[in-house]
Amino acid sequence: MKFLTLLAILPVVLQAWACPGEEHDHAHVHTKRAFPQIPLTPPTRQLQWGDINIIHTTDSHGWLLGHQKASPPEPNYSGDLGDFASFVTHMKQIALEKDVDLLLVDSGDLHDGTGLTDGFPAGGVDAHDANKFLSQLPYDIMAIGNHELYIYANTLDMYQNFAPKLKGRYLSSNVNITTLDKHGNVINVPVGSRFAKFTTRKGKKVTSLGVLFNFTGNDKNTTVQHVADMVQEQWFKDAIKDEPDFFLLVGHMPVQKDNWPLVFNAVRAVHPTTPILILGGHTHIRDCVQLDGRSMSLESGRYMETVGWLSAKLDKKGSNKNITFSRRYLDPNRVTYEFHTRQKNSSFDTFQGQFISKGLNDLAKKFDLSFQFGVSPHDFTINRAPFPSNDSLLSLFAAQAMPVALTINNTRANIPNVMITNSGSQRFDIFKGSFTKNDQLTASPFADSFLYIPNIPAGVANKVLPALNNAGANEKREFLEALDKRELEAYERGYVDMIYTRWLEEQDRRSGIERRAAQNLTLGYVTQDSCPGVGDDVLHAPLPFFSVPDFIGSNPPNVTDETPIDLVFVDFIETQLLSILNSVQTDKTFATSDVLPYTDVLASAVLGLYAQQAWN
């Protein structure tokens, strides 16, 4: 009787926990909203189920509270991890009713991106607390990403605290960590497991691998083996020797223009007809490709802006006929989740989902993520507004925020200067309304330092930014070759913004003006991939897109060309800037010894300091 009474009151208690401070501004306080702030377009077609069905996430980067701003397309992605957990629970029940298998898979990059991961107090570890909530979901397979490897402490935390919770299902096939065993001996071991073999609820045998692309930006005492070398390892050959009902290849590697074919072909050489399901990631786009008629490869976006769906109708072993696959890209919000789970708003939330939502909001409060620096007067976007313009985040950062924030309590504040940074330092848009600690971390997460070279003639300093952006050199073959090399090197270090922005540009170019003018279409992703049929779960009009330069800078000071000024720049671009500075003048060859620290203010703090000055 007492148990029944507890069940009767628990939903009320959970609802009270899930919505603390409901009378306050929802943009300011991280709360669980019972329903999105603005109407959302629901899906119009059911998911296509098969014998094997997969819910896929990747590149979540800490976006576990969902996207909580009102400006489009943010409400499309307003579901938090608690909503997602409830969705998974209901989908598992539907799978039971249909008597089919449903797996939950993640392809890596749990670190770096929001206050939940990056806003930890001094002495903490990035994503340590946030990942505790991810580990509560029933993931069948998770794979390591490159953002788990930039800082050794993060990798060690994954090895010691996260991977063990998945009991052999956290995979790092080609990624090792050097650490100490319980006896104090140095060991070099996989961060997770090299592979996993398991049997589904319906008795299907699965062999799974977790592969990272050829990443070169990992911290010391971590090792990333090239994919081409990994497939030659004896453990790999032994792992794929026995034929399962299907191979589940999960990894932080894009499904096109990377090394999945090396892994695929190695498996195909042994098992020519066994179904292969590939779940990729890393480039932050929605994408799908079929390497043959008995395989499908899916990539499911970024920042919890996409939940991927893949299904396959398996046939008898040895068959060489094409398999029927389906894929779908879901917008993660309660409208989407309730449509596909056949639930109402009143019946959707599960106990686990509400506990996760409450826990995430408690963590946001603990990290003081709702601390308000100021109130943004309107939206500032990276690619949706021309550069330069009043609506450009890059213009805001370079022309207004840096000159204010970097000269606070700076003895060189009265000396004219030119300030330069890379446009990739800004990672996410700023939206109208409350600008909080969490917004600061999502928009500008990189804690880079600022340096300077004194006494540079203004005429010389003003040439550096155009030269960095290679003004007028686009037609030169050597420039194009250098650009390709630079992009490849950046990609290998983990930078994918150029791929994601090209994807957005293609959407706008393909159908931008016409589709935005169409009736009843909200802004969002408009995916065109290599798989048959329409992949997007909800049809959208594409976001406007404007190209931006690689480097941005403050406005030139109003001084003569001969006036000595400070050339200020972020440390991330020091090598490139010195090279350019030496190319635009011949009076002196500048070196690292000429570079000095300019301020204690880090790049990640610039917007907050500016907002405190200008937006209050």
Beta strands in 30-100 (DSSP E): 52-57
- What's the token pair of residue 294? 């008995």
Output b/e per residue, 337-359; b: 16+ Cβ within 10 A: bbbbbebeeeebbbebbbbbbbb
Beta strands in 186-243 (DSSP E): 186-190, 195-199, 205-212, 222-224
Q: What DSSP element (H or E) covers 567?
A: strand 564-570
- Convert the pLDDT of each residue in 22-67 to its tens digit: 333 333 333 444 556 688 999 999 999 999 999 999 999 999 999 9
Pairing mode, if any, of strands 596-599 and 450-457? Answer: antiparallel
∠ CA 512-514-515, nearest 5°, is: 65
* Residue 101 pLDDT > 60: yes
CA atoms within 13 A on the CB side of 485: 6
d(CA 255, CA 261): 9
d(CA 65, CA 114): 9
Query: Cis peptide before 549, with omega less than 30 degrees from 0?
Result: no
Q: How many CB atoms are closer than 10 A to CB 431?
A: 22
To which residue do tokens 């990290």 refer?
367
The type of residue at 473 is: A
**Numbers of helices and strands, H then E, in the chain:** 19, 22
Alpha helices in 79-208 (DSSP H): 81-98, 115-118, 131-134, 152-157
- From residue 493, give the alpha-carbon distance in Å to each of 127, 133, 145, 496, 531: 21, 28, 12, 9, 29
pLDDT at 137: 98
510 φ/ψ angles, rounded to the nearest 5 degrees: -70, -40
- Convert the pLDDT of each residue in 432-482 to its tens digit: 999 999 999 999 988 899 999 999 999 999 999 999 998 544 434 554 566
- Convert the pLDDT of each residue in 488-515 to its tens digit: 888 898 989 889 999 999 999 998 888 8
Three-state DSSP class for 216? coil
Q: How many CB atoms are closer than 10 A to CB 469?
A: 16
To which residue do tokens 């501004």 refer?
25
Question: Cβ(169)–Cβ(141) under 8 Å?
Answer: yes
451 φ/ψ angles, rounded to the nearest 5 degrees: -120, 170
Q: How far is CA 2 from the centre of its chain?
A: 45
Q: Which residues contact 45 (CB under 8 A, 6 or more apart)?
A: none
- What's the token pair of residue 269? 């050489």
pLDDT at 473: 44
* Parts of the chain belonging to CATH 3.90.780.10: 372-469+549-614
d(CA 526, CA 543): 9
Kindly tell me the sign of the dihedral angle through the C-alpha atoms of 73, 76, 82, 88.
Answer: negative
Q: What DSSP element (H or E) covers 143?
A: strand 141-143
Query: Cis peptide before 542, with omega less than 30 degrees from 0?
Result: no
Torsion of CA 320, 299, 54, 208, to 10 degrees: 70
- Span 516-540, average pLDDT: 94
Largest CA distance in the chain: 89
Three-state DSSP class for 510? helix
Q: How far is CA 373 from the centre of its chain?
A: 25
Q: What DSSP element (H or E) covers 352?
A: helix 351-366
d(CA 215, CA 211): 11
pLDDT at 483: 57
The type of residue at 578 is: L
- The reply to whether the predicted model has a pTM over 0.85 is yes
- Span 513-533, average pLDDT: 91
d(CA 137, CA 80): 13
pLDDT at 2: 33
* Residue 17 pLDDT > 90: no
- What CATH superfamily is the domain 372-469+549-614? 5'-Nucleotidase, C-terminal domain (3.90.780.10)
Question: Cβ(492)–Cβ(217) under 8 Å?
Answer: yes
d(CA 198, CA 201): 10
The type of residue at 345 is: N
- Span 393-409, average pLDDT: 98
- What's the token pair of residue 292? 């043959």
- What's the token pair of residue 510? 């393909």
- Convert the pLDDT of each residue in 292-342 to its tens digit: 999 999 999 999 999 999 999 999 988 999 999 999 999 999 999 999 999
Q: For all residues of the chain together, what is the average pLDDT?
A: 92
pLDDT at 487: 77
d(CA 265, CA 183): 41
pLDDT at 18: 35
Three-state DSSP class for 17? helix
Question: Cβ(511)–Cβ(544) under 8 Å?
Answer: no
- Span 16-25, average pLDDT: 34
pLDDT at 5: 32
pLDDT at 36: 62
- 47-366: CATH topology is Purple Acid Phosphatase; chain A, domain 2 (3.60.21)
Better-predicted residue by pLDDT, 50 or 2: 50
pLDDT at 520: 82
d(CA 215, CA 104): 25
Q: How confident is the model at residue 20 (pLDDT cuts 50, 70, 90)?
A: very low
- What's the token pair of residue 563? 């006036």
* Residue 189 pLDDT > 90: yes
Per the rule left: phi > 0, alpha: psi between -120 and 50, beta: everything else, 80 is beta
Three-state DSSP class for 272? coil
Percent of the chain with pLDDT over 90: 86
Question: Cβ(391)–Cβ(379) under 8 Å?
Answer: yes
* Residue 245 pLDDT > 50: yes
* Parts of the chain belonging to CATH 3.60.21.10: 47-366
pLDDT at 481: 62
* Residue 7 pLDDT > 50: no
**Range of lowest pLDDT (14-28, 267-281, 352-366):** 14-28
Q: What DSSP element (H or E) covers 175?
A: strand 175-180
- What's the token pair of residue 436? 């909080």
Q: Which residues pair with 180 in a beta bridge?
A: 186
pLDDT at 27: 36
